[in-house]
Amino acid sequence: MKIVVIGGTGLIGSKLVAKLGEHGHEAVAAAPSTGVNTLTGEGLAEVLAGAQVVVDVSNSPSFERAAVLEFFETSTRNLLAAEAAAGVGHHVAVSVVGTERMPENGYFAAKIAQEQLIEKSSIPFSLVHATQFFEFVRSIADEATDGDKVRIAPVLFQPMAGDDVAQAVGRVAVGSPLNGRIEIGGPEQSRMDEFFREALAAWGDPREVVTDPQARYYGSVPGERTLVPGDGAALGRIRYRDWLDRTATGK
């Protein structure tokens, strides 16, 4: 099966391409560096020729509200049009758990706009809502830093490893279109402030984690369950401390 991965050279995309290839699929990484640009349409017709499935794991280079909305709307419109012309039978897109619960967040609003375009298209689709990735935990801490303190809300948090994300997305890609969504998350759920307190200690980071109910998550105050999946979510197997140990040893 030919599966084109938009954003296939990035964190999740590169893992996904490798996993699909291991299972005998023709997985093609599509990105500006490979001559495919979804914003301009360059290379789309060529790379989609003969493809049965397209997986979109691309991301905006800017998280500024107007810029991220423009990226996802333009990219998705161009991609869906090219897929329709090429006869692609399944469009898979990775989104974020909780998008609909925090629409005032610019990035989440842009992902909602992307999903609406996909849902209204003629192409059968699957939406994969993932929780935060372990690989981005440090950047979340940096975003929440105020001087020598990291202000974190005491809400539920359930991040997952990029390898688990890629595995879950791969299973969806080779299956029948859901014409709906699936949620995926990590194997452990905890309070966000407690998670970061333990994480910073594990990193040997001297910053103090302060529990702040009004702390913002990329500009918005999350609710108790904004960032975690509901019942029935597919859960990964890799725990954060195990992932951290593996990352430190390079295994």
d(CA 146, CA 86): 50
CA-to-CA dists, residue 82 to 27, 37, 45, 79, angstroms:
18, 12, 6, 5
d(CA 151, CA 107): 20
- CB-based contact 153:227 (threshold 8 Å): no
Q: What angle do CA 173, 28, 52 make, to 5 degrees?
A: 45
Q: Token pair for residue 17?
A: 């391409």
Please state the pTM of the whole predicted model: 0.94
What's the total number of domains in the chain?
1
d(CA 205, CA 146): 14
- Chain centre distance of CA 68: 14
d(CA 197, CA 210): 9
pLDDT at 39: 96
| CATH code, domain with 101 | 3.40.50.720
Mean pLDDT in order along the chain per 10 residues (251 residues)? 97 97 97 97 97 97 92 98 98 95 90 97 98 96 96 98 98 98 97 97 96 93 95 96 83 46
Burial class of 65 by CB neighbour count within 10 A (0 to 12, 13 to 18, 19+): middle
pLDDT at 116: 97
Query: The domain containing residue 112 runs over which residues?
Result: 2-249
Q: Beta strands of 110-225 (E only): which ranges?
A: 125-130, 145-146, 149-152, 156-157, 180-185, 190-191, 208-211
Q: Are strands 90-96 and 156-157 parallel, antiparallel or unpaired?
A: unpaired
